[in-house]
Amino acid sequence: MYSYILMKLFGKSYLKYDGVCLICLIVMAVLCVSPVKVLEAQSFKNESVLNSGSWYKLGVTKDGIYRITYEDLLDMGIQPNTLNPKKISIYGNYPGMLPENNSEGCYDDLSEISIIVNGEDDGSFDENDCILFYGQNQVEWKFDYSRGGYCHQINFYSDTTYYFLNVESLEDGKRMPVISQEQIPAGNVVNEFLDLRYHENELDNYYKQGRRWFGESVSGVDGKTKTFDFVFRDVIADSTNFARFNLVGSSLNERFYARIKINDKVVFDSLRINQRVDHVFGYEVDVFGDFTLDSDTLSVTLDVLSQSDASTVYVDFFTFNVWMDLNCAS
């Protein structure tokens, strides 16, 4: 088991020099000496695709294949038997937050995605026909080379990804290509996969500032311990898995410690959390490392090792990368 600990301050502290805020002086100095990057002008469309056609907004919160049936279209106020199924299209963009920096590119308009319209070849949308498309939630996963595992990023502003259905496209809608099995060359046999899970509940903004919210809290009120249970399926026993835990601890009257156990085995011990000072709300603890499982159950226990019942640890998130057998199940 290896581990790495990052600690940050939450809050604000100011230094003054001859009555002038030192932070302001530093910002002014950076602006004076930093080179100015000239951005190329971005070209924009004259009008959005939403400018024409009949559009219907669809929201999804999970990754998966979604089906729109004849009855679903009726519920939307659409008369399916009047549609030309070839003109059905769905638009949307890659999920996740828009970039905060103006220098980073962003979408100018909605992009069409490939879909399947079962039964469209006869030129009518009948009761047994349906529309299939792949929808994604707002959580982004990227491999973090510094930590050695896949880490997630939620969207701070929305948990729903929206797609837009157009049933009167001017041109034929984009379709998923059909590839016959004999055209696919034999390759490597894959019988295992890496399951990516996270636990992050946005329950409260304890320090009443910024966009960061936290989930469960553990203190003397909870007996200084709390357990979180997760169930996987067909875990590969003794495989090397990855976990990351992000916590924030806060105490007005003492320095204390936190401990993390997986299935009653200590994986991170003596995580120090300093006493609060000045405007500091608490101290962040970001730990990550490898662990193994011998069953499909993963139980995380978070212990607060303190003298005061008021010393509290707040859960920001847990992240897991777990190797599992690739089996077909209903």
What pLDDT shows up at residue 41?
58
For 108-153, write each residue's pLDDT tens digit: 889 999 999 999 999 999 999 999 999 999 999 999 999 999 999 9
Name the token pair of 8.
Answer: 């940050």
pLDDT at residue 275 is higher than 80:
yes
For 118, the 3-state DSSP assignment is strand
Distance CA 266, CA 289 (A): 12
Of residues 165 and 327, the one with the higher pLDDT is: 165
For 159-194, write each residue's pLDDT tens digit: 999 999 999 888 999 999 887 777 777 778 889 999
Average pLDDT over residues 29-55: 64
Please report, for residues 10, 29, 111, 309, 310, the alpha-carbon distance to residue 251 in angstroms, rounded to integers and kept in the order given.
Answer: 13, 36, 49, 10, 7
pLDDT at residue 62 is higher than 80:
yes
Please report, for residues 15, 55, 100, 133, 264, the alpha-carbon distance to residue 23 in angstroms, rounded to integers and kept in the order given.
Answer: 7, 49, 22, 50, 46
Q: What is the largest CA-CA distance in the chain?
A: 81
Q: What angle do CA 259, 213, 215 make, to 5 degrees?
A: 45
Q: Which residue has the tokens 């939307």?
A: 76
For 225-239, write each residue's pLDDT tens digit: 999 999 999 999 999
pLDDT confidence band for 14 (50 / 70 / 90): very low
- Alpha helices, DSSP H, located in the chain: 22-33, 70-75
**Virtual torsion, Cα 60, 62, 67, 68, nearest 10 deg:** -10
Spatial contact of 89 and 112, defined as CB atoms under 8 Å apart: yes
Q: Name the nearest CA neighbour of 137 among 120, 149, 151, 154.
A: 154
Spatial contact of 269 and 301, defined as CB atoms under 8 Å apart: no
Residue 77: partners with Cβ closer than 8 Å, 6 or more residues away: none
Q: Which residue has the tokens 């077909």?
A: 328
